[in-house]
């Protein structure tokens, strides 16, 4: 007959076995040897750079997308009433790409429409460049991180086969553990960093496109305003 004490002892044995099989991330990295530690540290630095750029850009893009809904209406009123200085002051007080494009257009009022359009386009190119600052680094990390991880895989497999060749094919699994750990851990780390950077890059590109579309819409609205009869 199975008693309560037997069940309790069995449960304790199961817990102890599960605890023995538990392997922390730090232990997994360290077990891979020097090569694994170096490569994973490089990937950690890339992850830190990617996260820093992502959050810095996401806050910058979020700030650039904010603009008062009545901004263009106020610009329209100032321009229609001939208060160009007031329009410039309003643009200067509004810190956004749309306001800077509008200010560039207001400062060109009186010149041919093509010149105004060209000035707005040139200013828009500069604003887009500011929004996309360092975003390409995320794309580089997304492509480089998996390759660095695969480099660790190749190094790990070379170490494992070298151990086998040195022992005449009689190497034990314990002696091959370092190379195998290096191969597996660096591959996983490289893929994780690459996936995070890739998702962050695409999210920033999507957010930037929305701001660019808003800039284009306001630029068209401003040019239409100049074509309206007074």
**pLDDT tens readout for residues 113-127:** 888 888 888 888 888
Q: How many CB atoms lie within 10 A of CB 4?
A: 7
Residue with tokens 């500069």: 126
**pLDDT tens readout for residues 18-39:** 444 454 555 555 555 566 678 8
For residues 181 and 36, the answer to whether their CB atoms sit within 8 Å is: yes
Q: Determine which of 39-43, 66-70, 225-229 has the lowest per-residue pLDDT on average.
A: 225-229
For residues 33-52, give the mean pLDDT: 84
**pLDDT tens readout for residues 76-87:** 888 888 788 888
Stretch (H or E) spanning 30? helix 25-30
Cα separation, 125 vs 55, whole angstroms = 23
**Highest averaged pLDDT of the listed ranges 3-12, 154-163, 195-204, 213-222:** 195-204
pTM of the model: 0.74
**pLDDT tens readout for residues 178-212:** 556 666 778 888 999 999 999 999 999 999 998 88
Cα separation, 73 vs 218, whole angstroms = 11
Q: What pLDDT shows up at residue 170?
A: 59
**pLDDT tens readout for residues 142-186:** 999 999 888 877 777 776 666 666 666 555 555 555 556 666 778
Q: What pLDDT shows up at residue 179?
A: 57
**Helix ranges restricted to H, 66-134:** 71-80, 84-93, 97-107, 113-131
Cα separation, 166 vs 189, whole angstroms = 29
- The residues that bridge with 111 in the sheet, in sequence order, are 109
All structural domains of the chain with their residue ranges = 28-59+69-223
């Amino acid at each position: 007959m199975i008693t309560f004490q037997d069940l309790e002892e069995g449960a304790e044995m199961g817990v102890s076995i599960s605890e023995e099989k538990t392997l922390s991330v730090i232990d997994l990295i360290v077990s891979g040897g020097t090569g694994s530690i170096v490569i994973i540290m490089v990937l950690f630095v890339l992850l830190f750079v990617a996260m820093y750029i992502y959050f810095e850009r996401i806050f910058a893009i979020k700030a650039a997308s904010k603009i008062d809904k009545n901004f263009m209406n106020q610009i329209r009123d100032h321009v229609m009433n001939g208060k160009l200085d007031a329009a410039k002051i309003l643009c200067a007080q509004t810190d956004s790409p749309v306001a800077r494009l509008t200010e560039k257009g207001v400062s060109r009022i009186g010149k041919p429409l093509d010149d105004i359009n060209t000035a707005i386009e040139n200013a828009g190119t500069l604003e887009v460049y500011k929004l996309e600052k360092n975003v390409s680094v995320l794309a580089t990390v997304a492509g480089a991180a998996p390759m660095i991880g695969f480099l660790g895989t190749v190094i790990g497999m070379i170490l494992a086969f070298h151990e086998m060749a040195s022992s005449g094919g009689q190497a034990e699994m314990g002696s091959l553990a370092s190379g195998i750990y290096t191969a597996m851990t660096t591959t996983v780390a490289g893929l994780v960093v690459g996936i995070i950077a890739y998702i962050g890059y695409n999210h920033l590109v999507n957010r930037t496109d929305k701001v660019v579309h808003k800039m284009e819409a306001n630029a068209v609205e401003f040019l239409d305003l100049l074509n309206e009869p007074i």
